[in-house]
Amino acid sequence: MKDIQNLLWATGITASLLWSCGSKPAAELTLSSLNPADFKTEIAGRPVDLYILKNKAGVEVCITNFGARIVSVMVPDKNGTLQDVVLGFDNITDYMNVPSDFGAAIGRYANRIAYGLFVLDGDTVRLPRNNFGHSLHGGPQGWQYRVFEAKQTGDTSITMTYFSPDGEAGYPGNITATVIYTLTDDNAIRIAYEATTDRKTIINMTNHAYFNLSGDATQPVTSDILYVNADHFTPVDSTFMTTGEVLPVAGTPMDFTTPKVIGEEIERTDYEQLINGDGYDHNYILNTKGDATLTAAKVVSPASGISLEVYTTEPGIQVYTGNFLDGSATGKKGVTYHRRTGLCLETQHYPDSPNKADWPSVVLEPGQTYASLCIYKFTIEQ
Q: Alpha helices of 80-227 — where are they, by DSSP H? A: 92-97
Task: Name 144's Cβ contacts closer than 8 Å, sequence gap at least 6.
Answer: 67, 69, 100, 101, 104, 105, 106, 137, 138, 208
208, 282, 309, 314: which one is catalytic?
208
What separation in angstroms does the CA of 257 have from each of 110, 227, 233, 322, 363?
A: 24, 6, 12, 21, 30
Q: Alpha helices of the chain — where are they, by DSSP H? A: 2-20, 92-97, 272-276
Burial of 12 (0-12, 13-18, 19+ CB in 10 A): exposed
Give the separation between CA 125 and CA 110, rounded to whole angstroms.
16
Give the separation between CA 305 and CA 214, rounded to whole angstroms.
8
309, 314, 346, 349: which one is catalytic?
346
Per-residue three-class SS string for 6-55? HHHHHHHHHHHHHHHCCCCCCCCCCCCCCCHHHHCEEECCEEECEEEEEC
DSSP string spanning 332-348?
GGG-B--TT--BEEEEE
For 270-309, letters b (16+ CB in 10 Å) and e give: eeebbebbebbbbbbbbebeeebeebbbbbbbebbbbbbb
**Residue 232 is among the residues annotated as catalytic for this protein:** no
**Residue 208 is among the residues annotated as catalytic for this protein:** yes
> In the Cβ-directed half-sphere of 333, how many Cα atoms lie within 13 Å?
14
> In the Cβ-directed half-sphere of 156, how many Cα atoms lie within 13 Å?
14
Give catalytic residues, as residue numbers.
208, 346
